């Protein structure tokens, strides 16, 4: 038994243009991949150094200044908008309204830690106007990342109390001082309503508890579901007061 394989006929006039077209496409793709740039890729107007800023450990209720350098790499004069941040805890300044080609400027900002707790990341936005003389599409906005870790001298949990809608319910807030640090004590608790009362218990091994009790007879059930914020006063010099929101659960 013979196996017959049909060989397609080679047509030079039809095949060569196809081969040339495929090779052209492969060449363009290869060049674009090698350059890692597409035909519509945006080119930055500004070079920023450093682009990521890590402030490390920052105490609460404090301010820490930092700076970064901005350079015009567009090849043209730039019109700059005032820098803005995605958080009121940052206050960037120092960017002039116009920036000549290849000019550099140092921007400063202050991070205000307030009562943030733990890791935090925020961004500063730098914007430039469209340049008519630019030969390539330009990125008109770029960001600077700012990281910090706000470290308290004590910890507490939970950050929010959710009380069941029972005639009489209670919850516990635990305040803990890390080992090796002077114990932080709760000195007073202020309640937003007469329906909430609080008592402080124990201080064993640097731990205290605030027991929060709800009295339904003193609450207007036609009011909002948010009971309000407990204002807790402590012996801490870093965080003398902090708030714990209290609301009703399902």
The per-residue pLDDT of the chain, averaged, comes to 81
Distance, in Å, from the CA atom of 185 to the CA atom of 233, rounded to the nearest integer, reads 9
SS3 17: helix
In a domain, 144, yes or no: yes
Q: What local confidence, expressed as pLDDT, does residue 142 receive?
A: 86
Question: How many domains does the chain fold into?
Answer: 2
Q: What is the pLDDT of residues 12-45, one digit of tens each?
A: 444 444 444 443 444 433 433 333 444 455 678 8
Question: By the 8 A CB rule, do 173 and 231 touch?
Answer: no
Domain that holds residue 75: 43-150
Sheet with 46-49: strands ordered across: 46-49, 63-72, 104-112
The residues, ordered by sequence, that sit 6+ positions from 89 with a Cβ below 8 Å of its Cβ are 111, 112, 113, 114, 116, 122
Phi-psi region of 141 (alpha: psi -120 to 50; beta: other; left: phi over 0): beta
Distance, in Å, from the CA atom of 145 to the CA atom of 87, rounded to the nearest integer, reads 12
Q: What local confidence, expressed as pLDDT, does residue 239 receive?
A: 95
- The answer to whether residues 146 and 164 belong to one domain is no
Q: The domain that contains 161 carries what CATH number?
A: 2.60.40.10
From 90, 116, 150, give the residue that closes a domain.
150
In a domain, 118, yes or no: yes
In the chain, what percentage of residues exceed pLDDT 70?
Answer: 77
- The answer to whether residues 118 and 212 belong to one domain is no
Residue 174, both tokens: 């635990």
- The answer to whether residues 214 and 134 belong to one domain is no
Phi, psi of 16 (to 5 degrees): -60, -45
**Residue 63 DSSP symbol:** E
The least confident of 19-23, 49-53, 68-72, 127-131 is 19-23
- The answer to whether residues 115 and 213 belong to one domain is no
Q: What is the pLDDT of residues 177-234, one digit of tens each?
A: 988 888 899 999 999 989 899 999 876 678 899 999 998 888 887 766 678 899 999 9
Extended strands (E) in 92-240: 98-99, 104-112, 118-127, 138-139, 141-150, 155-157, 161-163, 168-176, 186-190, 196-201, 207-215, 226-234
From 118, 150, 182, give the residue that closes a domain.
150
In a domain, 15, yes or no: no
- The answer to whether residues 88 and 184 belong to one domain is no
Q: What local confidence, expressed as pLDDT, does residue 45 receive?
A: 85
Distance, in Å, from the CA atom of 46 to the CA atom of 51, rounded to the nearest integer, reads 11
By CB atoms closer than 10 A (0-12, 13-18, 19+), residue 15 is exposed
The least confident of 62-66, 83-87, 176-180 is 176-180
Average pLDDT over residues 121-144: 76
From 99, 118, 150, give the residue that closes a domain.
150
């Amino acid at each position: 038994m013979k196996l017959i394989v049909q060989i397609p006929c080679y047509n030079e006039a039809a095949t060569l243009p196809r081969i040339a077209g495929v090779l052209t496409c492969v060449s363009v793709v290869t060049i674009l991949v090698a350059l890692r740039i597409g035909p519509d890729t945006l080119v930055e107007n500004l070079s920023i150094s450093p682009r990521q800023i890590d402030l490390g450990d920052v105490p609460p209720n404090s301010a820490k200044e930092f700076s970064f350098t901005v350079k015009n790499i567009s090849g043209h004069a730039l019109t700059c908008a005032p820098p803005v941040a995605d958080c009121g805890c940052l206050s960037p300044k120092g960017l002039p309204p116009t920036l000549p080609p290849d000019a550099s400027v140092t921007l400063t900002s202050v991070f205000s830690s307030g009562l943030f707790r733990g890791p935090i990341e925020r961004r500063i936005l730098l914007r430039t106007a469209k340049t008519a003389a630019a030969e390539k599409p330009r990125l008109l906005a770029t960001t600077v990342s700012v990281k910090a870790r706000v470290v308290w001298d004590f910890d507490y949990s939970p950050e929010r109390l959710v009380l069941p809608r029972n005639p009489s319910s209670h919850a516990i807030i635990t305040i803990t001082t890390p080992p090796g640090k002077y114990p932080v004590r709760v000195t007073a608790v202020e309640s937003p309503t007469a329906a909430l009362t609080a008592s402080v218990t124990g201080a064993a091994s640097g731990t205290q508890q605030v027991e929060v009790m709800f009295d339904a007879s003193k609450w207007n059930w036609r009011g909002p579901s948010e009971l309000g914020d407990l204002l807790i006063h402590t012996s801490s010099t870093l965080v003398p007061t902090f708030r714990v929101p209290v609301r009703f659960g399902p």
